[in-house]
Amino acid sequence: MKIQQISLFLENKPGHLRAICRALADARVNIVTLSLADTQQFGIVRLIVEDWQRARATLEQAGFVVHVREVVVVTVPDRPGGLADLLESIEKNGVNIEYMYAFAARREDQAVMVFRFDDPDKAIAALQSAGREVLAGSELFK
Amino acid sequence: MSAFEFWNDADNPVHPASAPDYLPLERLREMQLHRLQVTVARAYARVPPFRQRLDERGVKPADLRGLPDLARLPFSVKSDLRDHYPFGLCASPMADIVRLHASSGTTGKPIVVAYTAADLEVWRSVIVRTLAAAGVRRGDVVQNCYGYGLFTGGLGVHAGAEAMGATVIPMSGGNTERQIMVMKDFGVTVVCSTPSYFLHLADEAQKQGLDLRKLKLRIGVFGAEPWTEGMRERIQTMAGIRAQDIYGLSEIIGPGVAAECVHRCGLHIFEDHFYPEIIDPDTGAVLPDGATGELVLTTLSKEAMPMIRYRTRDLSRLLREPCACGRTIRRLQRISARSDDMLIVRGVNVYPSQIEIALLSVEAALPHYRIVLTREADLDQMEVQVEVTAAHFTDQVKTLEALQQRLAEAVLRVTGIHARVRLVEPNTIQRSEGKAKRVIDQRKLT
């Protein structure tokens, strides 16, 4: 159920994000979604791609420092209170969210969110016992 | 050179050329004084600018009755070589000069240095002593990455390595991929290069998935730029070799002025040919052994271009305590700074080596870094740019910000200066193929 997310260090300079996307495009790696965390000086790009091993090899070859972490992808009902309910079920189980971002695509009446938890396995168990839909890679990359 | 031919490690641990390293001190001082008197008399007779300077001071070569009298002679400096470009300081006619080298001056004309056949023989012998001290043996395969050409490094090391019976591969600098291929395919056991270039080679090898520790490489002979213990550790760990420091400068002879033995507790200075003094860089006063100051060198046997009391701008101290290797010649403490490398930031003296020490106090391995100095609102700003490495990159902003903070605190602790630390992308700081350019000074002085 856990999805491998790759992250890269990025300086806040024109053209730097494009260089990453171009390198992946040239290697025919499709980006499923991405998020950018940034400060004044630098940013961290987090990517979910179809073939993370190939993406990592490509980017490392291009000289980037690549970090791989496990994230959890969950559907969230697309209605008021949908996310609040979900967060409550996580909170009850004492799992912390390090960061989260929304998926680029949505499924029918569901939004899709990516979470980085301090304890992904515990979070998955909590979410599933609360009847949440945790997506596997096979469902993401359809 | 025939004497070296039968030298082999098992029979005789001391290379015959290294005999002067072990002279009884009394004998060494006698030899130094005699050679000094000959050199000064010769320079006085044959180099008009030198004679003029002595005359101005009312000093005669005959006034040199003991080694301490050397302090009565004037210093020479790098600009003397420029002022008398190209051959104004030569003491031999061109007919006796068999080799010219030149070092790239950072501004204007290069400086030219000349050698007679006897000078080349001395040079060869001090390189043999350098390599022998570093543990290089007959049968070693030496990859010489020092630049061949006008720079003294390439040809200097080449001649000495051949003379001692090692197998020399004259690579010169650059073409990193080919260097790595040769290192692997030719079974190289010794690499001679600048430390920063070797780190570059090691990084490239790692990128190619080549583990240098699995090669036959056993010794690195590094010089031509100041480097730190941190760099030494990193080199030794990455490549599985013993990293040896050597010292030299073109104005004196090139590489071969001083070298570490395998105990690596300072560089044994070949003082039968190069007489060292340590002076206070501000007053010019000679300091006792053990005190830190600027290294001043006098050539004791050089014919073509004798150098009397040449100010090297390198800061060091002379160690006279006996070394475990048994050499009697004094040792020069590793050069950690040059008096002209010194940066003055907000009135505080800062050396790039201090920045390295600060970075190493936070990170396990020295990252590639660069110091950028600017002036904002009349105040000096020091920015230390540090490349992010796989070892400390995480996907969380707060951990990277904490790293920046820790690095800035370390710089403050070591230098007393509040610096801005900026993390930059890997491989964005230019790698040097020669001397590392660590400092970019963009301050516009008004």
Who among A7, A11, A99 is closest to B424 (CB)? A11
Average pLDDT of chain B is 89
pTM over 0.95: no
pLDDT at B225: 73
pLDDT, average across residues B167-190: 94
pLDDT at B219: 97
Residues of A in contact with B401 (CB under 8 A): 39
DSSP state of A141: T
Report the alpha-carbon distance of residue B403 to residue B243 in Å, rounded. 30
Q: Which among B255, B222, B243 has a CA at the least distance from the CA of B153?
A: B255
> Strand, helix or coil at B314?
strand
The token pair at B144 is 């010489």
Asked if pLDDT for residue B320 goes beyond 70, the answer is yes
Query: Model confidence at B446, in pLDDT bands (50, 70, 90)?
Result: very low
Share of chain B above pLDDT 70, in %: 92
The token pair at A19 is 């260089």
Hey, which residues 8-67 in chain A have their CB within 8 Å of chain B?
A: 9-11, 16, 37-39, 41-42, 44, 46, 63-67
Contact between chains at B397 and A16 (C-beta distance less than 8 A): no
Asked if pLDDT for residue B304 goes beyond 80, the answer is yes
* Residue labelled with tokens 């490392």: A60
Residues of A in contact with B422 (CB under 8 A): 41-42
The token pair at A106 is 């949505």
Asked if pLDDT for residue B226 goes beyond 50, the answer is yes
Q: Which among B152, B166, B135 has a CA at the least distance from the CA of B241?
A: B135
pLDDT at A142: 66
Report the range out of A21-25, B155-159, B392-396, B400-404 with the highest average pLDDT: B155-159
Query: Model confidence at B445, in pLDDT bands (50, 70, 90)?
Result: low
Q: Is cis: bond before B288, omega within 30 of 0?
A: no
Element (H, E) at B415: helix B397-415
Hey, which residues 119-138 in chain A have their CB within 8 Å of chain B?
A: none
pLDDT at B106: 42
Query: Model confidence at B107, in pLDDT bands (50, 70, 90)?
Result: very low
pLDDT at B104: 58
Share of chain B above pLDDT 90, in %: 63
pLDDT, average across residues B24-50: 97
Q: Indicate which of B383, B398, B423, B425 best probes the interface with A, i.e. most A CBs within 10 Å of its own CB.
A: B425
| Count of helix runs (H) and strand runs (E) in chain A | 5, 7
pLDDT, average across residues B280-302: 95
> Strand, helix or coil at B120?
helix
Strand partners for A5: A69
pLDDT at B105: 47
CA max distance for chain B: 73
Tell me: the pLDDT tens digits for B61-83? 999 999 999 999 999 998 899 89
Query: Model confidence at B12, in pLDDT bands (50, 70, 90)?
Result: low
More confident residue, A108 or B205: B205
Query: Model confidence at B436, in pLDDT bands (50, 70, 90)?
Result: low
Per-residue pLDDT of chain A (142 residues; tens, 9 = 90+): 889 999 999 888 888 888 898 999 999 998 888 898 888 888 899 999 989 999 999 998 888 889 999 999 998 888 899 889 989 888 888 898 989 998 876 677 787 888 888 899 999 998 988 888 898 887 777 6
Query: Model confidence at B363, in pLDDT bands (50, 70, 90)?
Result: confident
Q: Which among B214, B235, B246, B232 has a CA at the least distance from the CA of B144?
A: B246
Contact between chains at B395 and A5 (C-beta distance less than 8 A): yes
